[in-house]
Structure 1
Amino acid sequence: MTAIRNRVVSAMALCCLIVMTACSATYKNHGYVPLDEDLQNLVVGVDTRATVDDSVGPPSLSGMLGDGNYYYVRSRVREYGMFRPEVVERQVLAISFNGDNTIANIERFGLEDGNIVPLSRRVTDSSVLSNGFLRQLLGNITNINPLEGLN
């Protein structure tokens, strides 16, 4: 009797451990932002694009034109079980340049500085939504060609 009880308790403990492990949050890091120590080597009005590339590396994003500003972006996303992933941290480092390709400004932004931007999404309507399960099933049965199975 006690052996069966010990097995049941062990199985329940194992199930609880599996459930707790499966529901733990996981974090994913995306992108790259240079450290403040690396940015201290850059001098506004003196250093150029080439020195920025050499000291902190090329940017993950740049302006629309070839001579645009540099943007370094890093995000940290939390995934928790079945819930939608949530961005818990985002840093954007913007390095803007003057007309002579020297640094004009270095700015750092975070999630607290940003605004929520609503994105529009265009989706083509599907005819599947208007049909019920039974209609779809019967429609698929009538689409079968018996002559295809003979070849």
Structure 2
Amino acid sequence: MTAIRNRVISALALCCLMVVTGCAATYRNHGYVPPEEDLQNLVVGVDSRATVDDVIGPPSLSGVLADGNYYYVRSRVREYGMFRPQVVERRVLAISFNDNDTIANIEEFGLEDGQVVPLARRVTDSSVVSNGFLRQLLSNIGNINPVEGFGN
């Protein structure tokens, strides 16, 4: 009898342990922002784009144009159980350049500096996507005007 009781208690303890560990938060890190020590080696107005590439490396994101600014982005995302993932930390380092490819400004931003900007695709939705083939076919039956079919 005590052996069965010990097994039941062990099974309950194991289930409780699995529930507790399943609800633990996990963190994912994305991107790269160079450390402050490396940024101290860059001089605004003196160093060029090539120097930035050598000292801290090329960015994962750059401006829209070929000679655009550099953007280094690092995010930390917390996933907790069944809840939606939440960005708990974001650092953006922006290095802008002058016309002669020297550093114009170095700025750093975080979540506390503004609102999170959701990225959205700029694609026009068509009404065809929401309706299936049969629904489109059957919905056109009432739209036919026999007079238009025979001309004037």
User: SS of the counterpart of 2:18?
Assistant: helix
How much does 1:118 deviate? 5.5
Q: Which residue is equivalent to 1:125?
A: 130
How much does 1:119 deviate? 5.7
Q: Which residue is equivalent to 1:33?
A: 33
Listed as ranges, the gaps of 5+ residues in structure 2 are: 133-152
How much does 1:126 deviate? 5.4
Report the TM-score when normalising by structure 1: 0.79
Q: 1:126 to 1:5 in 2, by over 3 A?
A: farther
Q: Deviations over 1:33-62 (max 9, x none)?
A: 000000000000000000000000001111
Find runs of 4+ consecutive structure 1 residues off by over 2 angstroms: 116-127
Name the amino acid aligned to 1:125: S
Q: Which residue is equivalent to 1:136?
A: none
Report the TM-score when normalising by structure 2: 0.78
Counterpart CA distance in 1 for 2:117 and 2:29 is 22
* Residues 1:90 and 2:90 aligned together: yes
Q: Deviations over 1:89-141 (max 9, x none)?
A: 000000000110000000000001122435667584255xxxxxxxxxxxxxx
How much does 1:31 deviate? 0.2
Q: 1:44 to 1:118 in 2, by over 3 A?
A: closer
Counterpart CA distance in 2 for 1:8 and 1:15 is 11
For 1:95-114, what aligned pairs fall within 5 Å after superposition? 95-114=95-114
User: SS of the counterpart of 1:101?
Assistant: coil
Counterpart CA distance in 2 for 1:112 and 1:88 is 10
Counterpart CA distance in 1 for 2:119 and 2:59 is 25
Name the amino acid aligned to 2:71: Y
Counterpart CA distance in 2 for 1:126 and 1:32 is 43
Q: Which residue is equivalent to 2:143?
A: none
User: SS of the counterpart of 2:38?
Assistant: helix
User: SS of the counterpart of 1:13?
Assistant: helix
Identical-pair percentage? 77
Q: Which residue is equivalent to 2:45?
A: 45
User: SS of the counterpart of 1:44?
Assistant: coil
How many residues were matched structurally? Answer: 128
RMSD of aligned residue pairs (Cα, Å): 1.9
